[in-house]
Amino acid sequence: MSQSPAPGSSPAEVREPAARAAELRAELERHNRAYYEADAPTIPDAEYDRLFAELVALEAAHPELQRADSPTQRVGGQPLDGFAPVTHRVPMLSLNNGFDDEDVEAFDRRVADALRGAAAAPGTQTGDLFGQPVEYAAELKFDGLAIALRYEHGILVQAATRGDGATGEDVTANIRTVKSIPLRLKTDTPPEVLEVRGEVLMFRADFDALNRAQEAAGEKVFVNPRNAAAGSLRQLDSRITAKRPLSFFAYGVGELVGVPMPDTHGELLAWYETLGIPVNKEHAVVRGAQGLLQFYGRIGEARAALPYDIDGVVYKVNRRDEQERLGFVSRAPRFALAHKFPAQEALTTLLDIEVQVGRTGAITPVARLAPVFVGGATVTNATLHNEDEILRKGILIGDTVIVRRAGDVIPEVVGAVPERRPPDARAFVMPTECPVCGSAIEKLPDEVIARCTGGLICAAQRKQALLHFAQRRALDIEGLGDKLVEQLVDQQIIRTPADLFKLGVAKLAALDRMADKSAQNLVASLDRARHTTLARFIFALGIRHVGEATAKDLARHFGKLDNVIAATEEELLAVHDVGPIVAQSIANFFAEPHNVEVIEQLRAAGVTWAESEPQAVEALPLAGKTFVLTGTLPTLSREDAKAMLEAAGAKVAGSVSAKTDYLVAGADAGSKLARAESLGVPVLDEDAMRAMLDAL
């Protein structure tokens, strides 16, 4: 598109500044590439600054010459009010981690086995992997901030942080200040869309220089290069970011439109280099686990000499078609693995040991440490896992201890240094009462984790207890999700499950993300939840070790809740499949007066269930029989069929084995039916199952 003349200028007067501006842009970008990509600057900094200033002056005198891809646009504009959210068109997934040779060998076996299976499947090529190791691309795992750069028709139009993988923050203005990132791709035929995935980081020398400047200016110094990079990139004023020495390396791709995807990861990186996108030189294509481990060893030896921080290496199946065959699991690709370096360690003094209460009631000892710099951060607290671990490691309060940042993330105390032990060192004693709610702390036989027994009233466990109480398999309170529970608890509207049944439409509608209709639906759901079954209610209480099946056994065996509450451990042991640990856990739960009080509050709120006479599972006709359900039954849901079988004493399992007595199969039965037939397990349809039950 041609530029219009500046007001008061003739076309001839504009052409000369336009030509000079284009010349300056090209020269400055050439110097940028020499400095940031080739590590070989071609002019002194002062000369670069002079050329830059000339271009700034030209664009100021002739605003019509300003362009989005000009080097001057890296300087930054006015401070932003905040970062707008960016939805990633292709999710930015995390990687699974490996920490030793066995993890890498297991990864290689999984990949090879999966690809051989996929290659043998109908419609796929066969024999690609047989007789030769898998080919991988191996590269560095940078200790920086993951970024997605979106180019449209060769122009950088957006940059976003990874965020939660689905949604990140728009940091385009700040990314424009990173001089190693091209604002325009170096090609005459750019793709329609190219999303480059990579890492923004700060070289150690640049980090040291920045900290010296911060200190001289009386400003806060940064802890490590990663924090400096992340903090610099998330400045609301891009002019501040422009003063920070950030760098970038590309390592992946998101969306690509208009050109074919390169066949291999190695070819992708090579293509990036032709486009002027920075790619780290430390990468290689290797074969099999042996090649991966050799690359890891070589990089590990060179790690200290690298000019930037890394915390491991990354392995990816090289061929794109094989990556697609392997796919993804949860939030990570099956075709990639991050192989972390060993954790870094340091010595410090253990000042004290306190306990924290987790969301599930787990009591975790936490070490309070004299501040120590380890793994790139100052550590003052570290996990001690459990009481048994403290005893096993022989740790006393007052000891000099070894602190490790496991995986360069989670600090832990590895052990003590006995020869430095002071005379007044003392042993840790696990408290007998929860520091949050005062309930008894229990540690069942054969368990290493101690737990608070105040699940229904303990503030530390309140959110988890409410979510468990409301889940579909418990009281099935539709509409009571994580965000709402957080608000109800944080605003101290709800303290126990009984308080849920006091909620009204007006109170709920005043909460964030709630409206009258949503509030009305939740109140209606709470009304329905008042009428439940004894088994569901017992399960909803969240008693340790009491799952759905045990709750059903308890309800059947005792018939009435009061019988369960009053039962001794000996009486509980008579219940089907209840052993000593489960019996003790149940007895301990009901021994806490506050738990019984909450149950009474729920009854007073109108929560009811049908009760019956006690009935031992062993006396039921299908006791000892194991059924498996599969496929879609004509008239029954899977839950209804399960309930009918369990009412007759049967156990309903999730998978077919040699111990399965019957498989109940509906439409689209799949692999479970084939497995049952291969094992000779009798197969019933819905009618046959009903007939069996009717005949009992």
48 has binding-site annotation: yes
> Catalytic residue positions?
141
Asked whether the beta carbons of 36 and 179 are under 8 A apart, the reply is yes
Fold annotation for 135-340? D-amino Acid Aminotransferase; Chain A, domain 1 (3.30.470)
Distance CA 564, CA 550 (A): 12
The verdict on whether residue 340 carries a ligand-binding annotation is: yes
Q: For residues 41 and 55, give the distance between their C-alpha atoms in angstroms, rounded to a whole number.
A: 20
Lowest mean pLDDT among 125-134, 159-168, 438-447, 670-679: 125-134
Please tell me whether 27 is known to bind a ligand. no
With a cut of 70, say whether residue 192 has pLDDT above it: yes
| 393: its two tokens | 């490691």
Terminal-to-terminal C-alpha distance of the chain: 85
State the pLDDT at residue 15.
Answer: 55
In the prediction, which pLDDT does 81 show? 57
Architecture of domain 461-529: Orthogonal Bundle (1.10)
> Does 452 belong to an annotated binding site?
no
Note the pLDDT of residue 97.
Answer: 85
Mean pLDDT, the chain, rounded, equals: 87
CATH topology agreement for domains 461-529 and 620-694: no
pLDDT tens, 535-575? 999 999 999 889 988 999 899 899 999 999 999 999 999 99
The correct answer on CATH 1.10.150.20 for the domain covering 534-617 is yes
**Measured in whole angstroms, how far is the alpha carbon of residue 102 from the centre of its chain?**
23
From the candidate CATH numbers 1.10.10.10, 2.60.40.10, 2.30.110.10, 2.40.50.140, the one assigned to the domain spanning 344-420: 2.40.50.140
Confirm if 202 and 144 have CB atoms less than 8 A apart: yes
Question: Is 470 within any annotated ligand binding site?
Answer: no
pLDDT by residue (tens digit) across 565-607?
A: 999 999 999 998 799 989 998 998 999 898 999 999 999 999 9
Most confident option among 41-45, 148-152, 636-640: 148-152
Distance (Å, rounded) from C-alpha 677 to C-alpha 656? 10
Query: The tokens of 253 are what?
Result: 């791709």
Fold classified for 11-74: Helix Hairpins (1.10.287)
232 marked ligand binding residue: no
Neighbours of 559 (CB within 10 A): 16
Residue 330: pLDDT over 90: no
* Domain map (residue ranges) of the chain: 11-74, 135-340, 344-420, 461-529, 534-617, 620-694
Yes or no: say if 550 and 582 are a contact pair by the CB < 8 Å rule: yes
Q: Which class for 358: exposed (0-12), middle (13-18), buried (19 or more C-beta within 10 A)? A: middle
In CATH terms, the superfamily for domain 620-694 is BRCT domain (3.40.50.10190)
- CB within 8 Å of 428: residues ≥ 6 apart: 353, 365, 387, 390, 395, 396, 397
Residues 485-497 have a mean pLDDT of 92
Helix (H, G, I), strand (E, B) or coil at 109: helix
Please indicate if the annotation marks 569 as binding a ligand.
no
Question: 59-103: per-residue pLDDT in tens?
Answer: 888 888 888 778 776 544 444 457 898 999 998 988 888 888 999
pLDDT score at 323: 95
| Rounded alpha-carbon distances, angstroms, from residue 195 to 275, 277, 316, 320, 329 | 13, 12, 19, 16, 22
Q: Is 46 annotated as belonging to a binding site?
A: yes
User: Which of the four pLDDT bands, split at 50, 70 and 90, describes residue 42?
Assistant: low
